[in-house]
Amino acid sequence: MRPELIAILSAMGWAGDAILVRMGARTSNIYAAAFLSYSVSALFLWCYFLLFYPLRLLWSPATIYFLLSGCLQPLLARILFYIGITRLGVSRAGPLRGISPFFALVLAVLFLHERPTLPVYGGTVLIVASVWLISWRSSGRGESEWKLFDIIFPLGAAFVGAVSQNLRKGGLLILPDPYIGAVIATTTSLTIFAISLLLMGRIRLIQPRRESFPFFGSAALVAATAQILNFMALTKGEVSAMAPLLDSTPLFTVLFSAIFLRDLEKVTARIVLGVLLMLTGAIIITSR
């Protein structure tokens, strides 16, 4: 399967995860969503790893890259994104998360010595323009439910995600196996998240309410699949080419929001236009 298709499937998976979390958050909280997602994902990945891989591969020099990546994504990136979802809504937080290709491009040039062409830079301009369009606030009715500061959370998730993608690629250049990278990164996120909740005295928040369990459980399975596909795409392609496709998630979040979240989300023409700008930028970058 072509890496471009794998990256798009991964993006669709993360969009589905966001929609399911948004639906479950009506009766629960983001801590329960994140913990259940990490736990199920880690269990699934470890079962597969123990069945088909020798443990000695965990001592590869690539492990340090995957560990650092796991400290940032999915843990920190997803927490920031989930906060953005609850404050801004999926249809706005998702596109803002799409600035990640710009960050990934800069980091890939600086640290992985990739040499993108002019269309790649042109595409990043469109992506930045899409972020401005989506985050710009009018004084009209319905825009007062969120604050401009709230965009820091999805944008922070975008930057953290870009750093993580470059770390993953660095590890995959040493050990080109997506499953090993996925299991290490996910387990690292789960461990740090559990420790942080214990230190903050919020471990009780990880218990989801019965009404939200079907949504969070489904989101966990979808996220685990999307995580593996993410590593597979990075294994086969360059970061500067894969990142825009991996971050085409906003396109699918807007589409899924319009279909499944009509009672929770309002998808405006400005948001749709911003997503189209972002998608155009991604296409230009990929077809360089």
13-28 mean pLDDT: 82
* Farthest CA pair distance, the chain: 60
Q: In angstroms, how far is the first alpha carbon of the chain from the final one?
A: 20
Its pTM stands at 0.72
Q: How confident is the model at residue 141 (pLDDT cuts 50, 70, 90)?
A: very low
- Tens of pLDDT, residue by residue over 64-78, are 999 999 888 766 887
**Contact, 166 vs 93, CB < 8 A?**
no
Q: Please tell me the predicted confidence (pLDDT) of residue 204.
A: 81
Higher pLDDT, 153 or 135: 153
Q: Of the given ranges (54-58, 81-85, 157-161), which has the lowest mean pLDDT?
A: 81-85
